[in-house]
Structure 1
Amino acid sequence: MPGPSAPRRTVLKGAALAGTAGLAAAACSTESKLGHAETPTPTAPVDLGAADAVPVGGARLYREERLVVSCPAEGEYKAFSAQCTHAGCLLEKLEGTVGDCPCHGSKFDVTTGKALRGPATVPLPAVPVTAKGGKLIAGPQG
């Protein structure tokens, strides 16, 4: 005899969907209120090693440090966070001066930080970088 309460199967489906929604929300927890991932920058200077490891006219991905550094001209360096501004995934590889995000296919110009293909629309945050004694130092300069 059917009663006013929901059938057990409906209740279980609802509970499963609620759990899935919670996981989806947790997966996107790196997104800010602006709709893009928070990308932390170094709070202390980071020694990236030899400056000549970054080719002139090219770029190098420093995965462990979560940075990408380009060298537009001899002795000139630019650094950006290597975390995608869409969901915070780490750029996986560089094709020339284009960084690829493996999570959703965003692409970035690593010489300017500009998002070239979405879903990311926000550029990669710039990180201060200098060459001192033949080494690259990223982060705050003291």
Structure 2
Amino acid sequence: MRSLAEVRANRRIVFSGLGALGVATALGGCAGSGGGSSSGPAVDAGTELAATSEVPVGGGLILADEKVVLTQPSAGTFEAFTAVCTHQGLLVTSVEDGTIHCANHGSSYSASTGEVEGGPAPSALAKVDITVEGDRILAA
């Protein structure tokens, strides 16, 4: 009988282990964002995000660097949400006709509430606090 120190891995054991590692890696990559600081908005309070004229009524403006999407669901009403899709943590891609779209996998959200309207997204976009001062939209 061999001791544990003498046991050598055969090909089947090695490839089984590599297969399990590949599955674990793939599943980890499919996990959505956990809400960590790297996935959420990176904006200091008081930072000017945009001019009100840059956000169309019924549409919006995606600020990729800040990971924020600004919307104007109705004239003079401005909202802000994280621009990180809750499905796989990718940035949303457009805002039109009152809907925030993530073309990566088909999720959609309400431009007024951030609630899921369709697709694989499991939860709403997180609200981002803003203030409107004159014609400027600022992070709160």
State the TM-score, normalized to the length of structure 1. Answer: 0.74
- The one-letter code matched in structure 2 to 1:21 is V
Code of the aligned partner of 1:101: C
d(CA) in 1 for partners of 2:118, 2:26: 23
Q: Provide the C-alpha distance between the structure 2 equivalents of 1:103 and 1:73, rounded to a whole number of angstroms.
A: 26
Unaligned runs of 5+ in 2: 1-6
Q: Which residue of 2 aligns with 1:96?
A: 97
How much does 1:130 deviate?
1.7
Find the aligned partners of 1:129 and 1:122 in 2 and give their Cα distance: 21
Superposition deviation, residue 102 in structure 1? 3.8
Q: Is contact 1:75-1:131 (8 Å) kept?
A: no
Percent identity among equivalent residues? 29
Question: What residue ranges of structure 1 are gaps of 5+ in the alignment?
Answer: none
Given the superposition, is the C-alpha separation of residues 57 and 95 from structure 1 closer, same or farther in structure 2, using an over 3 Å criterion? closer
Report Cα offsets for 1:9-50 as digits up to 9, x if no partner: 322321221221232244246544xxxx55524451231121
Identify the range of structure 1 (75-84 vs 42-51) with the bigger mean alpha-carbon deviation.
42-51
TM-score, normalised relative to structure 2: 0.75
Structure 1 distance, partners of 2:128, 2:22, is: 36
3-state SS of 2:57 partner: coil
Distance 1:47 1:104 in 2: 31
Q: Does 1:13 align with 2:21?
A: no
The match for 1:23 is 25
The residue aligned with 2:65 is 64
Partner Cα separation in structure 2 for residue 12 and residue 102 of structure 1: 39
Whether 2:107 is the aligned partner of 1:106: answer: yes
**Structure 1: how far apart are the matches of 2:63 and 2:48?**
11
Report how many residues are paired.
131
Superposed counterparts of 1:1-142, under 5 Å = 8-28=10-30, 31-32=33-34, 38=36, 39-42=39-42, 44-45=44-45, 46-138=47-139, 140=140
Assess, with a 3 A threshold, how the Cα gap between structure 1 residues 74 and 103 changes in structure 2: closer, same or farther: closer
- 8 A Cα contact 2:59 2:95, kept in partner: no
Distance 1:76 1:98, change over 3 A: closer
